[in-house]
Amino acid sequence: MAGPVSAAAVILDPDHPIAGLADSKKLSERQRERLAVLIREHALAWAVAYAEVEEIDRLNILQATLLAMRRAVLALGIRPNLVQVDGLYCPQTGIPSQAIVKGDSKIAAISAASILAKTARDDLMNALHGRYPHYGFNSHKGYPTAAHLLALREHGVSIVHRKSFRPVRELLSPLPQ
């Protein structure tokens, strides 16, 4: 419900495989942080990109995610021959692409990208916590937890909240008379 959407692109070095790559959601924070360092050190190329809150609200979350993916792929220092993406949809990059459902648990480069995207966004949400500590971004990272919803009701909507997301939108709507 808050903060930008992040995406990453990674080209792994086949001569330096990274043990332990997996879907970022199945790894602990400590495991993700350790692997993120290894990915940045050993990948042939990597990039992290974002779509900002305003873009999410204007485009919708899917299109904003595809935009962040596109930005990440185009920011790579090496042009890939094939873009493999977790999910059902591919960003428009001008490069042949393949969408793979549960790709982050099947393809090492997608796993690596999911880890970099998650750790970068978590770092960003921790920084936002410093500016907006009453929302608790350091614990829920912007997801719609009970604590986050309560903080929204108590403190109102901040500029980093996604106004197109229902719980935020409902707080902005005037109550019926």
Interval 61-101: pLDDT, tens: 999 999 999 999 999 999 999 999 999 999 999 999 999 99
Residue 174 has pLDDT above 90, yes or no: no
Burial class of residue 59 in the structure, from the number of CB atoms within 10 Å of its CB (0-12 exposed, 13-18 middle, 19+ buried): middle
Residue 117 has pLDDT above 90, yes or no: yes
Residue 13 has pLDDT above 70, yes or no: yes
Domain boundaries, the chain: 5-172
Is there a contact between 128 and 161 (Cβ–Cβ < 8 Å)?
Answer: no
Average pLDDT value for the chain = 96
Query: pLDDT, tens digit, for every residue of 40-67?
Result: 999 999 999 999 999 999 999 999 999 9
The fold for domain 5-172 equals Nucleotidyltransferase; domain 5 (3.30.420)
Query: pLDDT, tens digit, for every residue of 128-151?
Result: 999 999 999 999 999 999 999 999
Q: What local confidence, expressed as pLDDT, does residue 176 receive?
A: 57
- What CA–CA distance (Å, rounded) separates 55 from 111? 25
